[in-house]
Structure 1
Amino acid sequence: MNSRGEIIIVDDDTDDLEILKEVYNTLPFENRLVVFNDGEDAYQYLKTPEAYPFLIISDINMPKMNGFELRDKVLSDAETSNRIIPFVFISTCANRTMMKTYCSNSFHGYFEKKSDFTEMTDMLDNIIRYWKNAVPAD
């Protein structure tokens, strides 16, 4: 895991992306933030040799390629699967049936988007701190 790598956020909702960028800018982390508004663009970026992110945070419900499809492609592709990149979902989707079905495949976390800026800040801070503490620094 590349603890100094960029943090990738994928979300098709431009308002949510702006809030997440604003939230991230209040946090003390030095990782570069890279945002995409669709899974296909994120996947193409992840396939490049210079892309070795620390963490991927993705919405679930997106056109073209949803978050589940993005995660599956990242894990099944030889170029991206060997990089050991934590992949978490952050979504307004609260469909427990869908999550239960998907939980049979492994993923690293699911969080519901918060409508309150402070709650969103706390959630994003906790996600990043968890993964920063999960492995020794590079």
Structure 2
Amino acid sequence: MIVDDNPADLYLAEEAIQSRGLPCSLHLMPSATAALNFLAEADPLPDLMLVDVNMPGMNGLDLLQQVKADPARQHLKVVMFTTSDSERDQQQARVHRADGYVVKSQSFTGFQAQLETLLHRHATG
């Protein structure tokens, strides 16, 4: 699952994954609220969530906190995948038990490589 309010980033992520032929089911969520609604009904749950930090309304750190506080979902692997290189955001991600923090590459090739690495490192299915 990729949670990002930027439609261009969601599109790029989908393109990056499809162009590499990576074997995964991809769920694109335009907001933290949409992700929580999806998780409430999902069976099975995603193997990996890539979450942007800066989103309007509920931000990615709030989403992370809610996921990790829920006993039924706290095992989910959540990696903050964001343009924010803020030390404060990184520290908050650690406090709320993120499974990683990756600052998105500015180039499509780098972005693609980051996604492939994250999927291979964190996805179990």
User: Structure 1-normalised TM-score?
Assistant: 0.82
Pair member with larger Rg: 1
CA contact (8 A) 1:24 1:121 kept: yes
- Give the corresponding residue for 1:120: 111
Shift >3 Å, 4+ stretches: none
TM superposition shift of 1:101 = 4.0
**Gap regions ≥5 residues in structure 2:** none
Matched, 1:99 2:82: no
TM superposition shift of 1:121 = 0.9
Q: Which residue identity is paired with 1:105?
A: H
Distance (Å, rounded) in 1 between the aligned partners of 2:96 and 2:42: 27
Query: How many residues in Structure 1 have an aligned counterpart in Structure 2?
Result: 125
Matched, 1:108 2:86: no
Distance (Å, rounded) in 2 between the aligned partners of 1:49 and 1:97: 31
Matched, 1:25 2:22: no
| Percent of residue pairs identical | 24
TM superposition shift of 1:85 = 1.6
CA contact (8 A) 1:89 1:111 kept: yes
**Gap regions ≥5 residues in structure 1:** 1-7
CA contact (8 A) 2:80 2:102 kept: yes
2:56 equivalent among 37, 59, 63:
63
TM superposition shift of 1:124 = 0.6
User: Structure 2-normalised TM-score?
Assistant: 0.90
Task: State the superposition RMSD in angstroms.
Answer: 1.7
Distance (Å, rounded) in 1 between the aligned partners of 2:58 and 2:93: 16
Alpha-carbon distance change, 51 to 96 in structure 1, aligned in 2, over 3 angstroms: same
